[in-house]
Amino acid sequence: METKPKILVSKCLGFDACRWNGVIIEEQFIKKLSDFVEFITVCPEVEIGLGVPRDRIRIIKKNGEYFLIQYKTEKDITKVMENFSKKFLKKIEKENIDGVILKDRSPSCGIKDVKIFSDKNVVVQKGSGFFAKDVVNTFTNIPVESEGRLNNLYLKENFLTKVFLISRFRNLKKEMKELVKFHSQNKYLFLSYNQKMLRELGTIVANLKKEDVEKVFKRYGETLLSGLKKNYRKNSYYNTLLHIFGYFKDSLKKEEKNFILKNIEDFKNDKVGLLTTLILLKSYVIRFDIDYLKEQTIFKPFPEELI
């Protein structure tokens, strides 16, 4: 049985009524995701003892410095939040987290678009929450997203693809044959994200210098995580889909060719989702019994129930 990916998530997103006003946020996507991943939950504000319900906190900018203030009571919780973040994240690093989902716009958990006020109660800019900033700086090579951005299909597909791919790699047996198989099965997925990464990974897995397994896995993992930092580009994925189509195009009727090519063009032009195009291509891979392509993870980079 495949090991589930581990995701660090804000506790208020369907796990506990821990927001400042005692409300729980029901996120359908996260609820659906719970069947396929292992969640590690956190509410920084509760963890530092603010309680529920509580007076709201704000980020205040004063003389070029940023402070986390409970506005109504004027209580400065900057240091206690910074200390909690560093201690918690140092501990959680050992858990091998594969992804992070945080509550957007929160002065503690917001990754972007958090309101930052002057000491005169005027919004002067937007930025990151105190806890989120440390999360981003700690987990530099895994996907970190806010729940609001995951309503965007493109961002959701990228997040899920990376999380499940990273998890599969982390849980490989440390054997060269397992790494060779992993690399082979992910070839077209890698090609869609980063051609340079694909070439570098191919060189590492070839292991011409006959390095020991631990060293090969370490180099492979570092290159993989670095190459996945950016989201896939439509043109790269488009070219990969055409490459797959090339395996069986000469066996198709003209009408079938045109239908598939139109679908691939529609993906490129944002008229259909990626999953729709992949399912169509996979049906022809099965029809023509192309074993090499049947094993490619690009056709199912994550459980389809999640889209």
| DSSP character string of 66-90 | EEEEETTTTEE-HHHHHHHHHHHHH
Q: Is 164 exposed, middle or buried (0-12, 13-18, 19+ CB in 10 A)?
A: buried
Q: Give every strand in the sheet of 123-127, ordered side by side.
A: 75-76, 65-70, 57-62, 114-118, 123-127
Q: Tokens 């003892």 belong to which residue?
A: 49
Closest by alpha carbon to 287, among 244, 248, 245?
Answer: 248
Q: Which residues contact 146 (CB under 8 A, 6 or more apart)?
A: 101, 102, 103, 104, 110, 111, 112
DSSP 196-236: HHHHHHHHHHHTTT---HHHHHHHHHHHHHHHTSSPPPHHH
Widest Cα–Cα separation across the chain = 73
**Distance of alpha carbon 40 from alpha carbon 306, whole angstroms:** 19
Exposure string over 292-304, b if 16+ CB within 10 A, otherwise e: ebeebbbbebbee
Please answer whether residues 60 and 26 qualify as being in contact, where contact means their C-beta atoms are separated by less than 8 angstroms. no
Give the side-chain half-sphere CA count within 13 A for 48: 23
Report the amino acid identity of residue 12: C
Residue 120: per-residue pLDDT: 85
Q: How many Cβ atoms are within 10 Å of 225's Cβ, its own excluded?
A: 17
pTM: 0.93
Torsion of CA 274, 198, 216, 298, to 10 degrees: 20
Alpha helices by DSSP H, 153-305:
153-170, 176-185, 187-193, 195-206, 213-227, 234-245, 254-268, 274-287, 291-294
Torsion of CA 234, 236, 238, 239, to 10 degrees: 160
Q: In this structure, what token pair is assigned to residue 199? A: 């070439």
Q: In this structure, what token pair is assigned to residue 155? A: 């961002």
Domain assignments of the chain as residue spans, ordered by start: 6-52+80-115+127-151, 153-307
Report the amino acid identity of residue 94: K
Q: Which residues contact 305 (CB under 8 A, 6 or more apart)?
A: 32, 35, 36
CA 136 vs CA 89, 139, 147, 293: distances in Å = 11, 5, 15, 36
Give the pLDDT of the chain (307 residues) as one tens digit per residue: 578 999 999 999 999 999 999 989 988 999 999 999 999 999 999 999 999 999 999 999 999 999 999 988 889 999 999 999 999 999 998 889 999 999 999 999 999 999 999 988 899 999 999 999 999 999 999 999 999 999 998 899 999 999 999 999 999 999 999 999 999 999 999 999 999 999 999 999 999 999 999 999 999 999 999 999 999 989 999 999 999 999 999 999 999 999 999 999 999 998 988 888 999 999 999 999 999 999 999 999 999 889 7
**Distance of alpha carbon 48 from alpha carbon 85, whole angstroms:** 10
Residue 5 DSSP label:
P
Residue 144: per-residue pLDDT: 97
